[in-house]
Each structure stands twice: as C-alpha cells, then as structure tokens.
Structure 1
Amino acid sequence: MAITIKDIAKKAGVSPSTVSRTINNHYSISEETKAKIRAVMDELGYVYDKSHLQTHTIGVVFPRSMVDVYENPFYLEIVRGISYLCNKEHYTLNLITGADFREIKTSIEIANCEGYIFLYADINEALTHYMVEHEIPYIVIGKPAMQSVTSLSVDTDNVQAGYEAVKYLISKGHKKIGYIGAEKHAQYALDRRIGYTQAITEAGYPLRDNYIHTLSSSYTYSPDDILSLLRSENCPTAFVVCDDIYAVIMTRLIDEVGKRVPDDISLISFNNSIFARLANPPLTTIDVNPNQLGMEAVVQIVKHIETPTMFATRTIVPFTIRKRQSVKSV
C-alpha cells in the first residue's frame, strides 16, 4: 500500500497540511518541525510528487440571512481582512452559503476545506456537532453561544464597548441616555445593552425602560414607540445605537419630529462603517476593527490547522472611539 501524506502526518503527530507545507518548504513551518517530518518520510520511504499536493483552502461561512451581508458593510470589511491574510499565508478561499443546516453541511462537504471561518457565532447545534464529530477546525467571529474549552473565536468586548459609549456621553454632560438595539436580538446588541446598563447604573442615573428600544432596517418596520419618545418632554439628550445603519435611521426619525443631531439629540453608534462617515452629521462611532477581526480569525484558524492539539482560544480585538460631529456637550 502506498504511503500517503496522512500516514506521514499521523506518524509525525502533525496535520496533513503541515506535511504538505513541509514538502513545499513553506516559511510558516519551523525548521525543527520540518526536520522531524522529513525524518518520518525517510523512515517510511515516502516519495512525493509535488503535482499532486493538496491546495490549502479555508472556507468562509456567511450568515444564513444574506440580506444582512448585502446591507451591512461590516461583513465585507471582515472578508477583506480574511482575504488579505489568506493571500499572505498562501491559502485560497471558498465562500460557503446556506439557509439551513442541510445546505451548509452539503456545501462544507463539497468544499472540503482544511478549516472554516464562520462570520457569525450562533451556529446551529447540529452543525457544531457535525464539525466536532468530523474533527474539522473552525472559528467563529463573535461570542460562541456555548462557552467551552472547544470554542475557538475572535470577537470584540461588546459589553465594554457599550459601557465606554455611555461613559463618553456622560463625559459630555449627558444624563438622559437611551439605547437602540437590533430587532433580531443579536448577541452583540445584547452585550452592548449590558454595557449600557452597567454604565448608567454606575453613574447613579435612573434606568428607564422607555429609553430602551429596538430598530430594524426593514421597510415594513414601524418605529412608533421611538417617535413617541422623541416627541416627549422627557426625551433623552443622547442615544447609544448598536449599529451605524440604525444610527442613520435614528437621524431621520429625529429629523421627522423636528429635532436635530447633535443640537437636540446626540448619537454614538458602532462599526465605523461608510454609513458613519457619510451621515449628516458624520457619526461618532465605536470602531470594532472588522478588518482586524478577519485577519485575526485567519491567524487563529491556521494555527489550529497546523497544530490540531492546540487548546481553543478566544481572541479579543480592541475597539476605538472615532469622534465626529454627532455628539455635542450639554
């Protein structure tokens, strides 16, 4: 029976891709590891043909709702970071889409990549079980639904980001601060709301339920509750808004009730997308560095492809407040 790359990998205690990269004399493999693998190759009498080497691939799995991807440049920035580092690491990309477990599973089986990056964290339990059962390396961008030693992820500290957003508004003299979340109750929006709650409570300000609302970018959405709040005498002087897209919608709603940003109401949002830069006025926003999230996801998944025995890691990418004209001191 012919000796294969998988035989070499098993004998040397490394992944097949590490053997393949050793054959290609890739810079990412240490000289010590290369020497060990070559010794095993000699021992087993392995003769390789470079024309038959496997292609190094990483699959990028998009959210089930592609509408989110098309509407929100956040995902495109992540993919830009992934693409940049994959090119540098000599990995090719396969894009994976699917509306449910069956479609995604089928796409993953067809793609047969060495590892996968999920652009979302709320992975179907059946899919998680499938990936673990078949020992397929994967990483999620976001907070895993179930924290465990097997969860590999890269994320922003969204609780701290929500907290810092409120603290920035407080530093500008605001005491009546509202929060606008996502209608779909995404984990990032819930975490940012937790941070908002912590900062409001710590400052000793009352936590008003009617100051907390959700928005949707859907054309059928009717924001009557928010309009009522904006028209009320006890309207917040500032809002933390969980996404730049929703902050643009909030600007329009504020205009609709005859008020202005930031003269009457200040806004701070998240993601530092093109929407934040082109809004009128330009938005003060928390830059969660999506490009860096994508690059870090590649770094981590490549490490785990090369060394399958590594412990799972949760990497936190720092955020920055981009100060623009949508926040005014009171």
Structure 2
Amino acid sequence: MTRTGSASGPTLAVVAREAGVSVPTASKVVNGRADVGADTRRRVTEVLDRLGYVRRPRFDATTPPGLVDLVVHSLDTSWSAAVLHGVEQAAHDAGLEVVVSAGLTRTGGGPGRGWLDRLTARGSSGVLFHLAELTPSQYAWLTHHRIPYVMIDPVLEQPPGVVSVGATNWQGGLSATEYLISLGHERIAVIGGFRRKSCSSARVAGYRSALVAAGIARRPEYVRHGEFSESGGRRRMRELLDLAEPPTAVFVCSDGMALGVYQALAERGLRVPEDISVVGFDDLPESRWATPALTTVRQPLSEMAATALRLLVLLMAGERAEQAEQPGCPRTELPTRLVVRDSTAPPNALAGRRTHS
C-alpha cells in the first residue's frame, strides 16, 4: 500500500475516509490510474493537498536514474531528428535510456491520461516534452507524482517555475531583418507561425524592432501568420505577391515555410534572389539542399535538446535549475546565428519598380 513518506503523516486510509472513497480508489488516484472518475479524482486530490499527504518518491535520488521519456511532436521531420540526436548523445553520456513517444501533441494539448499512466507504470524518472502544450491538470499531475520534466522549445509561455530550453528567437528575427536592410531592402515582409506560438511572436517582434531601428515604416500588410509548414508558407507568399506593392524581401519564420515560399515564387515565374530575397529560420538540412541554398537563422536544435536532458538530470537528482535570469521563469536560451547562403541579394532595380498587375 502506498503511504506517506513521513511516519507522522496521514495514512491513505485517513485520506480515503476524508474523501468518502475506498482505500483502493484513493490509491488509484495517488498512483495516477486512469480508471477513476474526474469528480472523484478532484475530491481525493483536494484531501491529499489539505492533509499534506506526500507521495513516496518514485526513485531514490542517491542512485543514478535509468530511464527517461522524450515526447516529440512527430518523427517525420528533420527538426525532430535533430532533437533526437541531441537527447540521445546527452543520455548516453549520462548513462540513461530513453523512451520516445511521438504524435501525442499533434492536435493540441499534452499527452493523455493513458500515456501518463504508462509513464508511472514503467518507472520513468523524468520527461522531456518537445513542442508540447500541457494543461494545468497535466502540470499538476506531474508535480503531484514528483516526476521532473523539462520543456524543449515550448509552444506557449510557461507557468512560473517550469524549466524550459529554447533559442534567442527575438535576436534571430532581428539579425535576419537587419541583414536584409543592410543589403538595401526596405520593402521587407515577414511570414510567421500562429500568433499564439511564443517562438513565432518573438521572431516577428525582432523583425519589427529592426525596422524601427532603421527608420523603416512598418506596413501591416507585410506581416502574415500561418502554420509552420510548406503549404502555410506558400499560401502567405501568394497573398504578399497579390499586393499592389509586393515586398522585395521576406523573412520566413521557419525553413519549412521558406520552401513553400520558393514554390509560390516559382509559380509566378519569379527568381530567388534576383526578384525577391528570402531568409528562413532553423538551418535544417533542407535549407542547404534548396536551390538556391537558403540564407537562414540557425537555432542549435541538438544543443537545445542536450541541454534539456542535462537539466532534467539535475532535477531528477533533487537540484534546482537556477539558470534563469529572472526568478520564477527558469528558461535557458541558446544563441541563434545568421547563416548567409545564396537566397539573398540587394534589391533588383526592376523588381523594385514591379507592381501587381
């Protein structure tokens, strides 16, 4: 039977009596089982918190943990491959084994209750979440069950105290736009991901800051948002080309979207960079294979994942992550870097005069 870690603390029988349930039902709640009704789970959890019941730690912090979970958005992208590479290398160095789950976060929200049940059943010592959106109840579940976790490039702003690793997205957007300005472009558009995604909003904010610093008027019609995909980039570029005065350069907030931009330009018989310069973001292998090779902002994906694994190991050992610059917001940001290739050039004089007909 699961008991409190303190001999003087309330027993599970006391918790069950206070909550008006059986001891087996209270045990199911404590151990994260799925076969408990929502109201019953809430009632038992409230009693656990009120009585100060402390669940026994899942592992002995004095011995090295052996198993961690990695939850990735998908396995069919080079983005995820870079994350897997970073985690695998860092886990090998730490003597850990990794269980990988994919596709649990594609439709929004974090992994479901069934996955959380399996997490406790296999005895994982910690979790890395990649591009996940956890609900308040899922955060509470992980905290209650004392399962350390770290977010890799989280989609949304995280609650206070949640440890995460990302890149300097604002600086990346700034450097991409500053480079286009240095080439002589003033009609510069941006294609971002969904507005609610924190990485996208930071990159677009960097773009806007560069325009302001250069004294270039911001044009609302030059700011477009969509999903991080080739089709999303293609659709938004078509919209920009349909403007009375299309841009001469575009900063695209992911390499995948930038490939869609290439497609939209090819449909109109336009050349990169002779007619329009394009800058991406990520520096995935596709950016080097594209024709012309894509100028892009490199974010260190493998390094971000490895850093997240090392932070998770610290949390599993009972240490606090003090890497944050601001108290209550323990986020580590690794630097981005502009990689100049062949998709950018000074604005073409004829393209500069071209308008939509």
Identity %: 24
Taking the aligned partners of 1:96 and 1:123, their CA distance within structure 2 comes to: 15
User: In the alignment, which residue of structure 1 is the partner of 2:167?
Assistant: 156
Give the drift of 1:231: 4.5
Kept in 1: contact 2:314–2:320 (CA 8 A): no
Give the drift of 1:303: 1.2
Q: How has the CA–CA distance of structure 1 residues 74 and 144 changed in structure 2, closer, same or farther, with 3 Å as cutoff?
A: closer
Taking the aligned partners of 1:132 and 1:60, their CA distance within structure 2 comes to: 17
Letter in 1 for 2:334: V
Aligned length: 281
State the Cα deviation string for residues 116-157 of structure 1 (Å, max 9, x = none): 110125322221111112221100012474545421011112
Question: Which residue of 10, 13, 20 maps to 2:63?
Answer: 20
User: In the alignment, which residue of structure 2 is the partner of 1:294?
Assistant: 305
Q: What's the secondary structure of 1:20's corresponding residue?
A: coil
Taking the aligned partners of 1:221 and 1:309, their CA distance within structure 2 comes to: 40
Question: Which residue of 33, 58, 62 maps to 2:72?
Answer: 62
Q: How has the CA–CA distance of structure 1 residues 157 and 121 changed in structure 2, closer, same or farther, with 3 Å as cutoff?
A: farther
Taking the aligned partners of 1:126 and 1:328, their CA distance within structure 2 comes to: 50
1:117 aligns with 2:160: no
Taking the aligned partners of 2:66 and 2:304, their CA distance within structure 1 comes to: 21
Q: How has the CA–CA distance of structure 1 residues 102 and 173 changed in structure 2, closer, same or farther, with 3 Å as cutoff?
A: same
Q: How does 1:224-239 map onto structure 2 within 5 Å?
A: 226-239=237-250
Kept in 2: contact 1:15–1:308 (CA 8 A): no
Q: How has the CA–CA distance of structure 1 residues 141 and 325 changed in structure 2, closer, same or farther, with 3 Å as cutoff?
A: same
Taking the aligned partners of 1:155 and 1:263, their CA distance within structure 2 comes to: 34
User: In the alignment, which residue of structure 1 is the partner of 2:340?
Assistant: 323
Q: How has the CA–CA distance of structure 1 residues 225 and 295 changed in structure 2, closer, same or farther, with 3 Å as cutoff?
A: closer
1:133 aligns with 2:176: no
Q: How has the CA–CA distance of structure 1 residues 228 and 270 changed in structure 2, closer, same or farther, with 3 Å as cutoff?
A: closer
Kept in 2: contact 1:227–1:253 (CA 8 A): yes
Taking the aligned partners of 2:320 and 2:260, their CA distance within structure 1 comes to: 47
Taking the aligned partners of 2:237 and 2:160, their CA distance within structure 1 comes to: 41
User: In the alignment, which residue of structure 2 is the partner of 1:194?
Assistant: 205
Question: Which residue of 85, 95, 113 maps to 1:80?
Answer: 85
Q: What's the secondary structure of 1:19's corresponding residue?
A: coil
Q: What's the secondary structure of 2:63's corresponding residue?
A: helix
Taking the aligned partners of 2:155 and 2:239, their CA distance within structure 1 comes to: 36
Q: What's the secondary structure of 2:218's corresponding residue?
A: coil
Kept in 1: contact 2:230–2:256 (CA 8 A): no
Gaps of at least 5 residues in structure 2 are: 1-5, 8-56, 106-110, 323-328, 348-357
Q: How has the CA–CA distance of structure 1 residues 184 and 111 changed in structure 2, closer, same or farther, with 3 Å as cutoff?
A: farther
Taking the aligned partners of 1:222 and 1:241, their CA distance within structure 2 comes to: 8
State the Cα deviation string for residues 186-207 of structure 1 (Å, max 9, x = none): 3211221111122122222121
Gaps of at least 5 residues in structure 1 are: 1-5, 8-13, 22-54
RMSD: 2.7
1:244 aligns with 2:233: no
Give the TM-score normalised by structure 2.
Answer: 0.71
State the Cα deviation string for residues 38-89 of structure 1 (Å, max 9, x = none): xxxxxxxxxxxxxxxxx611110123xx3xx42x311110110000110111
Kept in 1: contact 2:156–2:197 (CA 8 A): no
Q: How has the CA–CA distance of structure 1 residues 92 and 174 changed in structure 2, closer, same or farther, with 3 Å as cutoff?
A: same
Give the drift of 1:304: 1.3
More helix by share: 1
